[in-house]
Each structure stands twice: as C-alpha cells, then as structure tokens.
Amino acid sequence: MYFWGATLLSDFGTDANGAPFCGLPEYDMMSPVLHVITSDARGGLEMYVANLVREQAARARANAGPPVACYALPGTLVYEQLASAGVRLFDARRQSHFSLVDILRIRRIAKREGFGIVHSHTRFDVWAVSLALLGTASAHASIGHVHSTYMVASPKRDPHHRLIYSRVDAVLSSSEHTNRELARFLPVAKEKLHLVRYGRDLGRYVRSEEARAKMRRELGIADDEIAFGTIGRIEPGKGVREFAESLLHLPEDIRQRVKYFVIGARNETNVEAYNESLVEFQKQLEHAPTLRDRLTILPWTTDPVPYLNALDGLVLASYCEMYSLSVIEAMAMSLPVIGTNCGGTPEQIGNNERGLIVEPRSSQSIASAVERYVREPELMRQHGAAGHAWAQREHSMAHSLDALEAVYAEVLAKRQCAALPADAIAPHAAVAVK
C-alpha cells in the first residue's frame, strides 16, 4: 500500500516539499528504530521521550508500527521507565559530545541489529549518533538519522557542526517558531526540518468533578476561590518568581479570591539557591494578613493530572519557552493558559484564542491577566474550551506517531534511493510502503 502521513509521498514521485523520490517498487516501513538518549536528568524532556518510546513499543506489539529499542544510561528515569514497560534496552556508558566507547557501541548495535533509523534526542546524542553513522552507507541500504530538538538552538554553523549535521537526515520540532529558528541556526537544508507535534495520551487528561473536589480540599482551596498554578522545574528561566510576585500587584478584592500554586520544587544543587529564595518570599507573605496562605509551593510530580484537575488556570511565565508540554496538558484538561510572548508559547495560545499572552519577566503583566480572568469567568471558559479542542486536534499521540513514522519512511526511502545506481532509479513513480 502507499504510505500516507504528515509527509505526503505522492503518486508523482515527490514528497510534500517537492523533492523527487526514486520510485522504489516497495519499501518496508516496519524497519526497526533505535532511540538514543543519554541524559541523566529527570525532567519533562526525559519523561516525554520515555513516553514516546513506550507508545511506539505498544504500537509495534500490535503490529501497527516499527519495532523500537532504546540506548540509554542505566539508572536514569528513561531507562527505568522503559525497562518497566518491557522495551528493549542497550546500556550507554556516559553522556558526552565525544565518547568513543558510545560512538563505537552505537555503530556496532545499529549495524548488527539491523536498525533502519537511529533517533537522537539531545545535543550530546546527535554528535554520538552522527559520528557512529559516518560511512555506513552501502550499495544495498543505509541507516537514517533523525534528530529531535527540544530547545531553541544557538548558531551552529562552524565546521564541526557542519560535519555532525551532514549525517542528520531529518530534524524534528513541535513548533513552527522553532523550525524557523533552526533554519537560521543549523547547517541543514530547510527540507530536512519537520513539524511533529508533541503527542500525549489525551485519555489521561480528563476532568473529574469528584477528583477535583477531593484535591481542592487537600490543597485548601475553597469553592469560591480561583486557583492558578505553574507546573515545572523551579529555576530562574521559568519565571516562577515573577508569577509569585504578581500576587503583590493584584487589587485587594481579586487577591482575596485567588490562590497560587507552584508545583515543581526539587532538591537540586544547581537551583537550590533559587528554590530557597522562593520559599523565603513565601514566608514574607505569611507576615501580611492579606497575603497569608495565598501562595503554596509543592514538590515536583510526574503526574500533573490531579493538580490540573484542581486548578482553574495555568500560568507559564517562562522567559522564552520553545513549546511547553505543561501547556498541552492544561489545555487537554480544558484550562485556560496565561503564557509569555516568546518562543513557541504564542503559537500554542494563538491570538489570545486559547489563553492570554503576557510580557516575559513582568509580574505586573501576569497580574493583569489573572485579574481579567477573575473578572471575566466566561472568557476563562471559552479559552479553556478552545484549548481543549486544539489539544485534541494537534497533540493526540496517534497523530504524532503517524507524523513521526511518515518522517521515518521518507528518510528511509531517500537513503535507499541514494544508495542505488543511477540506472536503477525510476524518476516518476510513487514510493510504496508495505
């Protein structure tokens, strides 16, 4: 059958960007995929990759997608979650731009195990995989390299990065804004940049009035109070302090009707001082009768659903967020979002269609948005409903996996074409995928 997905393989022998295919009589879209992520962090990126690979593995078990495995560091969040899900794992040695043992190991595994695609996920992994795959083309087949980006890159057009990205076949991001930035910063052709939205298991993000009432009681939120929260790592670039300080700019009548929640405190040495300063600010509020109990700081959680159920709105105060998973999750739960005018956040919120845009680093701007929502509850409801529709349309896991596998199929087809002698190429035939 012909493979149709987010990237169209047309009957006229070109892909969605107009690049010609060589007209292979058929191609196997079930070629195995090796994910490479050597990060030892336990943040949103790592949780997302673990979930993505887990969902791909479930597809493979249902014979509906390519077999997958993962190259990861033992003891990390990714390794632990994938091991518990029964995903095949290969042990990495360390995270580094140039770890010879990992480069050689990835190369050996990819060739020995017959992986058609190696999918890298961090700025370290793209180096290891590209160096591992240099020179792996043959007269019969070649291993494709797909790289996902999760943050806006700084310029990387020096000779070293030109070499590394010469062995990358496709670069993925979840944001149109990010792809525009990547076209400026990376030494890759525009046709190698692909939009693949983050996929979420939207069946998890369902509002429950019973669960909402229970969690609000536990958090001390009264029925007539409106709860705003931010979920994610507590560090300076996330704008958490600006969110907390926006309490000071609220009119007195509004301040007495809202409660703020910061969900994401962790014991990490690199952000310990920032965490302590936020806690000190919270203590200062306790001495002001009109601010007491208005701000609550809670630990990091891997399951935001109970908190999202309890909240009435999400605030993303990051100075410049590429594309936020917490925004997707909040929208899936029909919450309106207050987000900063930078990075991919305006793309998520739209033209104040699914939330309110505020200025980065401005507690006053956040306070104005909070006040508007409190005074206009119908607007909150409208934005929440619009966000829910957006999340369902753009961010279902099935939609994202279809788009991802379409990129895999295109990469494999182009690599296969490049390996064929010129007289074997049919210039105007479709690429068929079995």
What rounded mean pLDDT belongs to the chain? Answer: 86
Residue 432's pLDDT is what? 42
What is the Cα–Cα distance from 353 to 407, expressed in whole angstroms? Answer: 30
What is the Cα–Cα distance from 37 to 40, expressed in whole angstroms? Answer: 9
Residue 396's pLDDT is what? 94
Task: Return the domain boundaries, the chain.
Answer: 33-199+396-424, 202-394
Residue 83: both structure tokens together: 């091991």
Q: CA separation (Å) from 406 to 168, 170, 313, 402?
A: 16, 11, 35, 6
Q: Which residues pair with 33 in a beta bridge?
A: 68, 117
Residue 105's pLDDT is what? 96
Query: Tokens 């965490």 sit at which residue?
Result: 275
What is the Cα–Cα distance from 131 to 128, expressed in whole angstroms? Answer: 5
Domain range 33-199+396-424, CATH architecture = 3-Layer(aba) Sandwich (3.40)
Compute φ and ψ for 167, nearest 5 degrees: -110, 25
Residue 304: both structure tokens together: 């935001």
Mean pLDDT, rounded, for 28-41: 87
> 281-294 pLDDT, tens per residue?
666 766 566 677 88
pTM: 0.81
33-199+396-424 shares its CATH topology with 202-394: yes
Mean pLDDT, rounded, for 288-306: 83
pLDDT level of residue 1 (50, 70, 90 thresholds): very low
What CATH code is assigned to 202-394? Answer: 3.40.50.2000
- State yes or no: pLDDT of 336 exceeds 90: yes
Residue 404's pLDDT is what? 96
Mean pLDDT, rounded, for 192-218: 95
> 89-137 pLDDT, tens per residue?
999 998 888 899 999 999 999 999 999 999 999 999 999 999 999 876 5
pLDDT level of residue 393 (50, 70, 90 thresholds): very high
What is the Cα–Cα distance from 303 to 305, expressed in whole angstroms? Answer: 6
Lowest mean pLDDT among 2-6, 173-177, 293-297, 423-427: 2-6
pLDDT level of residue 174 (50, 70, 90 thresholds): very high
Mean pLDDT, rounded, for 301-306: 90
pLDDT level of residue 243 (50, 70, 90 thresholds): very high
Task: Answer positive or negative: Cα dihedral of 91, 97, 100, 105.
Answer: positive
Residue 425's pLDDT is what? 54
SS3 265: strand
